[in-house]
Structure 1
Amino acid sequence: MGLGGFALGGATSVIAAEQSKPGSAQNFITVDGQRFIREGKPYYFVGANLWYAAYAACPDPKIGNPGRLEKELDTLASLGVNNVRILASSELSPLKNSLNPAIQNPDGSLNEVLLQGLDHSLNLLAQRKMVAVLYLTNFWEWSGGMGTYEAWTNGGKFVEMNDPAHPWPAFPDYVSQFYLNKKALALYEAYVRSLVGRINTVTGKAYVDDPTIMAWQLCNEPRPGGTKAVIDQRMPAYIEWINRSARLIKTLDPHHLVCVGHEGPIGCTDNLAETFNVGYAQLAQASADIDYTTAHIWPQNWSWSNVKDLAGTFPNVETRTKAYIRDSVGIANRLGKPLVIEEFGFPRDAGSFDAGTPTTWRDRFYDLIGAALLESHARKGEIAGLNFWAWGGQARALHDDKRMRPGETAYLGDPPHEPQGWYSVFDNDTSTLAKIKTLSYQVSKL
């Protein structure tokens, strides 16, 4: 069944953060039309992706990196960054290049010490008046994710990412079986209930009462499949999963925002027809329980650029990035919801992975994204925030092959399935840091 079989919901609901405790609602970030509101004022932000926060802050020295997160948050705060996007679930996986240890184990037990790392992260953010978006699983294998839920419940069968015996798009076709797997869905929902209902062991505050959490995100980059036939077949279950999961969270926690974690039109269905991409990206975010829309932009991953000729291919990057943002803006406007460009990344000059090497074209790409937010605000538009991918900070790759080994704690912005340093912003990338700081200042004045 294709998109024609579904009705697109149009208007967003404005979530009134009615709290159980008198006067406690004022610090929660809410939505008013296509704006975020924080402490009674419009909230625009320049943020970072910091997937490893719970790992770095973990009190177990075999997993955590004592003092690391404090330093990274202080540096980000000095740049004007006040919003971070954090991995809040990982699943111990048979898939290669997955995080180990993980928050969830196959027997259903939870790694309490890693959850305490998440508790510490939220406390450190609160001390700096920063907020977090917490994503509750992952479509990709690097943190276990939906493919791991599937393997846990189907007798151990799985498809590896980039396996020559199962070339792309076999992996997304495999993972999207999750939406039809009642046992896997039940495990996901059990974890959502557990985390949303958690009491922070550091602060003693219930997560549902903590305004340090800006939003719950259903998943990092969920897709309905890889091939059009699979997408058509699984779209009903995919939409049902989004709607049911968002409603579950709103039932458990009416205080916080909820979003999907969607890439937007192009990345989610690769090279399928543009009208199909835009239509289904709108459908996926149409639920009244989804408070805002998101977009991710990856020019190199999507073959818009050639790392060996960044100068020659950057005009194509610029054209396609602007078109992608226009499509994402159109979706947000038709739904009447804010838009956050919550992932965007670009390689260093000549494809280097080393901290401090030139970032001429990355900086120009960041300028494109920043300009889109400023232009949107000037016309009273819908783009409310940005999160660059990703903050590497003081960490450095430990090996010449730029690959993370199991058990290492030098967490970079690049997850373990990718070269360490590919998209990381390091603390000595002076030109990029200057761009972020300038944009943060401009946005703070909006």
Structure 2
Amino acid sequence: MNFDRRTLLGSTALLAGCATLGGAPGSAPRLFVRRDGMRLMAGREPYRFAGANIWYAAYLGADAPYGDRARLGRELDALKAMGVTNLRILASAEEGPLRNAIRPGFRGPGRDYNQTLLGGLDHALAEIGRRGMRAVLYLTNFWEWSGGMMTYLSYVDGGRYIDMNDPAHPWPAFANANAAFYRNPAAIGLYHDWIRATVTRTNTVTGLRYADDPTIMAWQLANEPRPAGDAAHADLPAFYAWVRDSARLIRSLDPNHLICTGSEGLKGSLEQADIVLAEHGIAEIDYLTAHIWPNNWDWVRQADLPGTFQRGEALSGAYLAQHVGFARQLGKPLIIEEFGYPRDGGSNDPAATTVYRDRFYGLIYAAAERDMAEGGPIAGTNFWAWNGEARAQHPDFRFRAGDHAYMGDPPHEPQGWYGVFTGDSTVRLIAQHAAAIARLR
């Protein structure tokens, strides 16, 4: 975004009865998801979903010491048993000098891409499709934890870079420096090379070109692209040109799949509605996205969730309603594709309860279900994120080089901060949301 443990026996009990789908392989999707006004459609049926973020799927899928295909299968089975049918995953990581960036990366400064990790993405997509699920693939990152735009800039400007959260460069220095990406033809050229290679790739497991695989729901330009950290450093024409030109490139290579930005919404748009509308009004962008992070945005304080939850609830509800309004104004669908909340007491331990997280998820899910039932623009939800059976490897809950127990909390964040573990009470809430969506017609 961002030990004593419960046993898997406990998580199995929570999953029991949540859904009747089970973990057995199903039919791979045969129809592409398309946009029809404010709706997403698969054939003649509306496409609605309860989804999750599992950025690390390609890493687990890799045939390498850092991979774990057996665990990937178990995680996908657990998600399917909950009724989750849509997964947002990382499809690029730029390897470079940034602190806290995941390694290995999919690519470095040249075109000698990491075929082992790409093979992990192939395997993950094959397993996702085999279970009748779909994936959204994001193609770079605004943030440092997977390399992203700052690393692209370092490739072309002599190795110069700024680390996120570097005391020598306090916020918003990192975000403002990243904005140079949108007006750097060499950096964008490398990024577009990656788009060409990925969108036209043939899956080594299924034999299908990615462009021809209905398992993929959408291509996403980036995870949380922002025009800058503040208005003084934002070159909006360059930012819009990057969105438009990158989306057109994808469309020229692949007419079958949806395209979106990956934006947080207002918080990622200098809190200016005009930017949200302009960015998502580009013809090649098929739907809007919104991310909701009450703790990160100081709407709540994780050290005092009982005293601050009500304020966060009101602000989150208003933020969600604003984005429904943007979607209606543009006549496009809306996905609530990231939302996260800390555990009770600010703990990162799976043994800690999730009373306030569950209340927050319930707020998001109730609003989405209500909007769907009324024919509104919300088409799906993707909670952040699935930790599953992973457990932090160190008492300080920090990720260290060489760790392979990947979880939804990326390497720069405390391991367990926002992610949902097997055994959490949140699992049943997600399953109930999925069942409610499945009942809609």
Q: Assess same fold via TM > 0.5.
A: yes
Distance 1:268 1:309 in 2: 29
Counterpart position of 2:88: 85
In the TM superposition, residue 25 of structure 1 has moved relative to its aligned partner by: 11
TM-fit CA distance, 1:107: 2.9
Give the residue type in structure 2 aligned to 1:48.
A
Structure 2 residues without counterparts, runs of 5 or longer: 1-27
Give yes or no for contact 1:26–1:40 (8 Å, CA) kept in 2: no
User: In structure 2, what is the equivalent of residue 363 of structure 1?
Assistant: 358
Alignment of 1:109-188 (within 5 A): 109-188=112-191
Instruction: Tell me the distance in 2 between the aligned counterparts of 1:261 and 1:82.
Output: 19
- Structure 1 CA distance for aligned equivalents of residues 71 and 279 of structure 2: 37
Q: What amino acid does structure 2 have at the position aligned with 1:252?
A: L
Partner residue, 1:204: 207
CA offset at residue 379 of structure 1? 2.1
Q: 1:341 aligns with which of 331, 336, 339?
A: 336
The separation in 2 between residues aligned to 1:26 and 1:63, in whole angstroms, is 32
Residue 284 of structure 1, CA deviation = 1.1
Matching residue within 33, 36, 44 for 2:48: 44
Compared CA separation, residues 395 and 25, structure 1 to 2 (3 A): closer
SS of the equivalent of 1:353 reads coil
CA drift of 1:227 comes to 1.6
Give the 5 Å matches for 1:286-297: 286-297=281-292
Residue of structure 2 equivalent to 1:3: none
> 1:374 pairs with 363, 369, 373, which one?
369
State the shift of 1:106 in Å: 2.2
Which is worse superposed, 63-72 or 338-347?
Answer: 63-72
Contact 1:26 1:39 in 2 (8 A): no
Structure-1-length-normalised TM-score? 0.91
* Helix, strand or coil at the partner of 1:160: coil
Query: Secondary structure at the residue paired with 2:251?
Result: helix
SS at match of 2:51: strand
User: Equivalent residue for 1:402?
Assistant: 397
Q: Does 1:57 align with 2:83?
A: no
Instruction: Please tell me the residue identity of whatever aligns with 2:289.
Output: T
C-alpha separation between the residues in 2 aligned to 1:147 and 1:107? 16
Give the superposition deviation at 1:39. 3.4
User: CA separation in 1, counterparts of 2:116 and 2:267?
Assistant: 38
Give, in whole Å, the separation in 2 of the partners of 1:370 and 1:130: 20
- Give 1:386's aligned amino acid: T
What residue in structure 1 maps to residue 439 of structure 2?
445
Is structure 2 residue 242 aligned with structure 1 residue 241? yes
Alpha-carbon shift at residue 33 of structure 1 (Å) = 1.2
1:82 is displaced (CA, Å) by: 0.5
In structure 2, what is the equivalent of residue 8 of structure 1? none
CA contact (8 A) 1:267 1:302 kept: no
In structure 1, runs of 5+ residues without a counterpart are: 1-23
Match of 2:33 among 26, 29, 34: 29
Query: For the aligned residues, what is the CA RMSD?
Result: 1.2
2: distance between equivalents of 1:25 and 1:321?
A: 33
Match among 296, 319, 323 for residue 324 of structure 1:
319
Separation in 1, partners of 2:69, 2:117: 13
- Alignment check: 8 A CA contact 2:336 2:381 kept: yes
Note the C-alpha offset of 1:406.
1.4
Superposition deviation, residue 283 in structure 1: 1.1
How much does 1:156 deviate? 0.9
**Is 2:100 aligned against 1:97?**
yes
TM-score, normalization: structure 2? 0.92
Number of matched pairs: 413
Code of the residue aligned with 1:404 in structure 2: it is F
Matched, 1:228 2:222: no
- Decide which of 408, 414, 430 is 1:413's aligned counterpart: 408
1:68 maps to 2:63? no
What is aligned with 1:14?
none
Instruction: Answer yes or no: is the 8 Å Cα contact 2:29–2:215 preserved in 1.
Output: no
Q: What SS does the corresponding residue of 2:69 show, helix, strand or coil?
A: coil
The CA distance in 2 between the partners of 1:390 and 1:66, in whole Å, is 19
Alpha carbons 1:356, 1:426 under 8 Å: kept: no
Aligned AA (1:350): G
Equivalent-residue separation in structure 2 for 1:379 and 1:413 (angstroms):
32
What's the counterpart of residue 5 of structure 1? Answer: none
Structure 2 partner of 1:387? 382
Q: Secondary structure of 2:281's partner?
A: coil
Write the distance in 1 (CA, Å) between the matches of 2:423 and 2:372: 31
